[in-house]
Structure 1
Amino acid sequence: MTIETEDDAVTTAARAVERLRLAEARLARRRQSECGPSENARAAMRLVLERADAHSTVTPTEIAHYLGISAASVTGMLDRLHAGGLIDFVVNPADRRSKFVVPFDRATDPDAIDPVTARIRAFAAELPDGTAGHVAAFLDRVREVVDTECA
């Protein structure tokens, strides 16, 4: 039996965000065991590609800070990305003890690394004129709440 209720716009938006958070949690669990690189590995790859596009560099330590995980976890993750042919390492010319993480094949399509992002980008392109900024601002505020919880 379904209970029909008339929800106001605030309740409708809040419930939609909660459904999104639950779906993200389910996706993260599936990615841990079923479908390729983990969420952290995908985020690391996006960072490496963004830095390369900006003609900048990134170190494993910076990746660890960006992801909020230990250096040891990053080392294992980067080793797997390297073995998969997605990244390479180059010596830092200013400090030969450190290294930079660079994309191995710059022709790698960032959307292929995270096809979910590509589909979301396509949906965003369909938003009515003038609404994308409002949606982004709302979601950024939701993200801030999530990021500060238990911090």
Structure 2
Amino acid sequence: MTTATEDPAISAVRAVERLRLAEARLSRRRQSECGPSENARAAMRLILERCDQGQTLTPTEIAQALGISTASVTGMLDRLHAGGLVFFMANPADRRSKFVLPFDRGEDPDAIDPVTARIREFASDLPADAAGQIATFLDRVREVVDAECD
């Protein structure tokens, strides 16, 4: 994709743009063709992370973390519950709220998002110094994306 005379910085910018376009295409395919939505996958990752940390999570916290409405989270959690991925437990400190917990902690997180598993595989082949530089670069790109329209 790069030419011998192309500036490496321009190559990086073009690679990020190709990545963003591929992510957008994947998101559209997932919405209509293959399994849980991006938000449902993100919610499951969050639920599993919090469970692994010994923490609880409410639907409202999921909505806040994902930047979506609580109504959207309710429907999404109902689908995840129907699919056997999560269950609900009453919050003993506040009977009006509930905690969202994963049904099966034996579930392989890579099965929830196989793309992440492949990326992890590729990253393990990077030299440590290059991996650190790439991570820093991508974090800076993410900050720009996250700040857009704030």
TM class, shorter-length: over 0.9
Distance 1:133 1:6 in 2: 26
Does 1:81 find its partner at 2:80? Answer: yes
Distance 2:128 2:37 in 1: 34
- The aligned amino acid for 1:144 is E
- The aligned amino acid for 1:90 is M
Aligned equivalent of 2:17 = 18
**Secondary structure in 2 matching 1:76:** helix
**Secondary structure in 2 matching 1:101:** strand
- After TM superposition, give the deviation of residue 5 of structure 1 in Å: 7.0
Distance 1:77 1:99 in 2: 15
1:33-82 deviations in whole A, cap 9, x for unaligned?
Answer: 00000000000000000000000000000000000000000000000000
Aligned equivalent of 2:131 = 132
**Secondary structure in 2 matching 1:95:** coil
Aligned equivalent of 1:110 = 109
Distance 2:138 2:129 in 1: 16
RMSD across aligned positions (CA): 1.0
Aligned equivalent of 2:55 = 56
Give unmatched runs, 5+ long, in structure 2.
none
Aligned equivalent of 1:141 = 140
TM-score of the superposed pair, with normalisation by structure 1: 0.96
Aligned equivalent of 1:46 = 45
Does 1:28 find its partner at 2:27? Answer: yes
**Secondary structure in 1 matching 2:99:** strand
Tell me which stretches of 4 or more aligned residues in structure 1 moved more than 2 Å: none
Give unmatched runs, 5+ long, in structure 1.
none
Distance 2:149 2:5 in 1: 33
1:12-51 deviations in whole A, cap 9, x for unaligned?
Answer: 0000000000000000000000000000000000000000
Distance 1:41 1:110 in 2: 13
Distance 2:74 2:80 in 1: 10
Distance 1:131 1:99 in 2: 43
Distance 2:146 2:24 in 1: 14
